[in-house]
């Protein structure tokens, strides 16, 4: 149970703009917060006020530092790479937790993140979702820009949703690209950008109809995913990469994907002639 006297929020910060957005929201609400940067992950900005620099091998020290900062809740924000743990550097708390943590770190992302969340909860911290603090970031249903998907685009979106659900059930990825019913790419460990770069190399001669639907990127959470951590996200760069891959639009599961800069994302899509669509779950 979270200690009610520890009202601050520890923001375990990964890559991207999300950690800063959460810090801004805390400041607006007058809530105490503490940035935590894990060594070897995303570097912090110079503007961050005295972040805690922590190590995965020294969880005991991390927990103590978060408590000392007056934080009883933790939010994980931004992408992180899978840690390469050095058992020789474990502190006593990490050594105690290692038999529980290490097997899961060698598994899929969702299982790894569930294990990490559980470890923080056992240590007495509440784990909260980024979108609980920033609900406006969640993608909405329907057409979000000036261009609407065609019937063929929607059929490709539905097909991609089936593929992403199958990938997610195996804890593999959260995205796929489909054009004219054909799967051109499936997201794996390399991520969405790498998948889109690969799709961009696919010869258009493989399309059944060169003048038909150009294809859609679809992103959604994994079935049964702990949505407090690692919700898929899109932003302006996603739209540009989809355009470079020759696609006609980007679709996401409404309420299950973060749009880190909604206005800019839609503006870029409108300018490039791509649709942005939220598929109802």
Confidence at residue 48, expressed as pLDDT on a 0 to 100 scale: 58
Domains in the chain (CATH in brackets) are 8-133 (3.40.50.20), 138-279 (3.40.140.80)
Q: Which of 62, 58, 51 is nearest to 23 (CA)?
A: 51
> Tens digit of pLDDT for each residue in 61-106?
999 999 999 999 999 988 777 777 788 888 898 888 877 777 666 5
Q: Does residue 266 register a pLDDT over 60?
A: yes
Torsion angle in degrees (nearest 10) through CA of 238, 186, 152, 139: -40
The continuous run of DSSP H or E covering 217 comes out as strand 216-219
Confidence at residue 210, expressed as pLDDT on a 0 to 100 scale: 80
Give residues with Cβ within 8 angstroms of 271, minimum separation 6: none
pTM over 0.75: yes
d(CA 201, CA 204): 9
Mean pLDDT score across all residues of the chain? 88
> Tens digit of pLDDT for each residue in 124-146?
999 999 999 999 999 999 999 99
d(CA 37, CA 30): 22
Cβ atoms of residues 211 and 247 within 8 Å: no
The least confident of 41-45, 50-54, 153-157, 274-278 is: 41-45
């Amino acid at each position: 149970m979270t200690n009610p006297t520890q009202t601050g929020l520890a923001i375990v910060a990964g890559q991207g703009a999300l950690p800063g957005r959460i810090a801004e929201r805390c400041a607006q609400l007058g809530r105490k917060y503490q940035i935590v940067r894990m060594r070897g992950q995303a570097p912090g900005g110079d503007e961050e006020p005295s972040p805690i620099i922590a190590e995965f091998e020294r969880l005991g020290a991390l927990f103590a530092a978060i408590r000392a900062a007056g934080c009883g809740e933790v939010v994980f924000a931004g992408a992180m790479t899978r840690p390469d743990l050095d058992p020789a550097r474990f502190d006593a708390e990490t050594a105690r937790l290692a038999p529980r943590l290490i097997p899961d770190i060698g598994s899929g992302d969702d299982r790894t993140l569930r294990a990490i969340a559980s470890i923080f909860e056992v240590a007495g911290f509440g784990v909260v979702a980024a979108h609980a603090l920033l609900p406006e970031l969640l993608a909405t249903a329907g057409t979000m820009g000036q261009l609407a998907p065609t019937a063929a685009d929607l059929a490709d979106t539905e097909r991609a949703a089936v593929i992403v659900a199958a990938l997610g059930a195996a804890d593999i990825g959260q995205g796929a690209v489909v054009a004219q019913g054909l799967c051109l790419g499936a997201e794996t460990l390399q991520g969405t950008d790498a998948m889109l770069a690969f799709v961009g190399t696919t010869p258009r001669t493989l399309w059944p109809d060169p003048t038909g639907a150009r294809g859609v990127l679809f992103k959604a959470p994994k079935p049964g995913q702990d949505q407090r951590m690692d919700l898929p996200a899109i932003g302006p760069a996603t739209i540009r990469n989809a355009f470079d891959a020759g696609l006609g639009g980007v679709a996401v599961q409404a309420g299950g994907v973060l749009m880190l800069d909604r206005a800019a994302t839609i503006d870029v899509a409108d300018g490039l002639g791509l649709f942005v669509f939220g598929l109802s779950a």
